[in-house]
Amino acid sequence: MLLIKRFSHFFELKSVCFTRPLISLGYNLSMVRKITFIIMACLVFVSGKPALATSQLDDILKTTIATTLTTPAASPWVENDYVRTRLVSNHNEVAYDPTVLHYLGWEIEMKVKGWKTYWRTPGDAGTPPVFNWDNSVNLAKVEVYYPRPERFQIFGIQTFGYGDRVILPIRIEPQIGGAPINIKMHAEFMSCKEICIPFTANYELNLPAPTGAMGAERNLSIYAEGVRNFVLKVPLAASDDKLALNITDFNLTGVAGQQKLSIYLEGQKHLAGADVFIEAPMNFRFGAPQKQLLGDGGQLLVIFPVHTMGEPDDLRGKDIKLTIHDGWGFSREQNLNIK
């Protein structure tokens, strides 16, 4: 009962606090009602105090106004002579259903043939992309996913990344469900061919509050399929689908500084095009792999020379992560401790 009284009191104040000022600024009544409703829906009173600070309500109000006036599902392209990048969303607006997954996509296209950008672990050269969302509104959680990379070799240097075009899927969760989200993302990344050039870019994207009981399909943006295609290229977690591709054995030989790591793969398809990407402590580097098909081609032995930067170090006892790809589109991750 007390909660109803507090909401009733707020309804009495809404005309003074929201409706009249917004109409005076030129917003039509329908738009003002939508803005006011969303702000009221964000207020939850607990122990006689609003759960949100005044500054948070101000941010949400500003975001609501911005996303009511314009609802792009993609930021403008940020371009230079070599690459262009943008931020896209798989939804046109925030979904009513809290179980619906919201994905953004950081899209990067090479404008010059032969250029590339880097994976989360770039290999012998380059730097991984770095993102910052500190100035966003109503953004509680962000998780970047990396599709399986390609292996590049030039002048004896091994690097991992993406050529031509890639979308990095980014899963987001709002702080307040049903309220609009204003994403402000800063990116630092590198693009390379024979030389490497660092770049920075800023993006802004608004996801408005839901405007009606919009079904999941109708709410999907024109970019949803593109984002989904790259979500499907993200390697599965270590525990998923070991039957399709699995590490059956591994061993390490040699002394520190002169070691070789052998990895045995088994899959359901011919593994001639399979590859393995290793993530290890920063002082370790792995040379070009030697591959040998075994049996009927459904087994593969991959041997990596192990190098260290600085003083020789022993890979024994270290934790590493492997991303394995069968060459047919299936990939998964597996963590190993080299005992």
What is the SS3 string spanning 228-284? HHHHCCCCECCCCCCCCEEEEEEEEECCCCCEEEEEEEEECCCCCCCEEEEECCCCE
CATH topology of domain 78-231: Immunoglobulin-like (2.60.40)
Q: What's residue 27's pLDDT?
A: 38
Residues of the chain with CATH 2.60.40.10: 245-337
Q: How confident is the model at residue 67 (pLDDT cuts 50, 70, 90)?
A: very low
Tell whether domain 245-337 is in CATH 2.60.120.620: no
- The answer, yes or no, to whether residue 145 has pLDDT greater than 50, is yes
293-322 pLDDT per residue, tens: 999 999 999 999 999 988 999 999 999 999
Question: Is there a contact between 240 and 220 (Cβ–Cβ < 8 Å)?
Answer: no
What proportion of the chain, given as a percentage, has pLDDT over 70? 76
What proportion of the chain, given as a percentage, has pLDDT over 90? 65
Residues of the chain with CATH 2.60.40.1250: 78-231
Question: What are the start-end ranges of the H helices in the chain?
Answer: 2-14, 20-24, 29-42, 54-69, 216-219, 224-231
